[in-house]
Amino acid sequence: MTSRERVQRFLNGQTVDRIPNGLGGCETAGLHNLAYHRLKRVLGVEDSANRVCTFMNNAIFEPSVLAAMEGDIILLGSRMCPSRFWGQDAVREWKPLSLWGVDLQVATDWEFRLDADGAWWWGDRVCPPGALYFDPPTGQQIGVSFADISTPSPDSFNPSHDLPEPLLERLAEDAKWLHDNTDYAIACGEMIQDLQLRPGGTQSWWMRLVSEPDVCHAFLDKAVDAALSQLRQLNDAIGGACCMLGIADDMGDTRGITIGPDLWRQIYKPHYKRLFTEWHKVTDMKINLHSCGAMMDILDDLIECGVDVYNPVQISAHKMKPETLKARFGDRLIFYGGVFDAVNLPITTDRDTVYQTVRSNIETMSRGGGYIFAGVHNLPGDLPESHLDAMLQAYRVCRDTGKAG
């Protein structure tokens, strides 16, 4: 059974030969580029490619790495990266950059500069000396006075109903290239309009959720209309080749649903219900929903709305224990990730504890099927080789136990 056959059957609820390995298969199921460099050493892969996928400094997983780790899903592209990932012409859209002592490749449209004090700048984000991520400068986003809050009208919100034609053509070419040259299941990253709206800023938006719900519904209605129009275009371009499409909305924090489950149901649920109901009419690409945080309180609602796959499964958040998630939702939802949470397994953890914890989590999450192997979000850049080796070894031991779709 090829990876493409395995994942397609799995997503359709059919029996497969082993737990699908989705490491690197979406923008939030991979590794920091520095950890990816270590993974190649663990696997004995000499491929020099180490391309930066997004602002999160996560790597694009190359076929050489997928083959060595028995990966099943390859990422077609992401709107968070301006360069194409695949095909013979892709190499022209990447340029070299040495960072963190590792040779990387970054999109040609991205501009980096090194300050005299050793800080790297990527646009308006900075990576101080010794740091591993690019973030807004300290203090830049701390606090907004009420005098600064604006309340734009939904009349002024007109998201595009069209994806750029050159993007659609490029994605179609790359999807065909991957289909013809690999046996991996092809997943598309985040491409269409999502519902992560904050018109006027987060503080303003959250206040209007309570004080002006009709205004918020008007914004979200427009976002759904745009998303569905773009989805139809995307499906015409790549729907026949791709098995999943990503969409993101960080609805939770470590404590629970950030705006509370009741307000979320009042404001957001009707729009997700419309979006996902129509999504399934438009395309066979499954919905891969990304949301960080403690999502337990609205997973039933999201399943009702039509979510197929849920990522990253943040098991260190409140009420997100693997056994609880599996018991409540395992027969109705595919979990993608959730076996290695860097909060629970910091770099000081010994190898055996990492192995035993990951193995236990895989066994729990894959019981009866419905599980795609990956960590929790993109695992951090300081992850040691011993952690990566232990995680993969745990997967190898468990992989043949999750045969149900």
- pLDDT score for 139: 57
Integer Cα distance of 183 and 4 in angstroms? 6
Q: How far apart are CA 83 and CA 107, in angstroms?
A: 5
Structure-block tokens of residue 260:
């509370």
Residue 389 CA to residue 212 CA, distance in Å, equals 51
Fold of 3-92+155-401: TIM Barrel (3.20.20)
d(C-alpha 199, C-alpha 347), whole Å: 39
Taking only Cα atoms into account, the Rg of the chain, rounded to an integer number of angstroms, comes to: 21
CB 351 within 8 A of CB 390: yes
Give the tens place of pLDDT for each residue, 149-194: 789 999 999 999 999 999 999 999 999 999 999 999 999 999 999 9
What does the pLDDT read at residue 137?
86
Residues whose CB falls within 8 Å of the CB of residue 152, separated by 6 or more in sequence, listed in order? 199, 200
Strands (E), 176-268: 185-188, 242-248
Please tell me whether the overall predicted TM-score, pTM, comes out greater than 0.85 for this model: yes
* pLDDT tens-digit readout, 298-338: 999 999 999 999 999 999 999 999 999 999 999 999 999 99
pLDDT of residue 405: 46
Give yes or no for a contact between 112 and 59, defined as CB atoms under 8 angstroms apart.
no
Question: Angle CA(358)–CA(382)–CA(98) in degrees, nearest 5?
Answer: 135
User: What pLDDT sits at residue 402?
Assistant: 54
User: Tokens for 248?
Assistant: 């993101």
Which of 189, 173, 237, 238 has the alpha carbon at shortest distance from 73? Answer: 189
- According to DSSP, residue 61 is labeled P
Q: Where are the domains of the chain?
A: 3-92+155-401
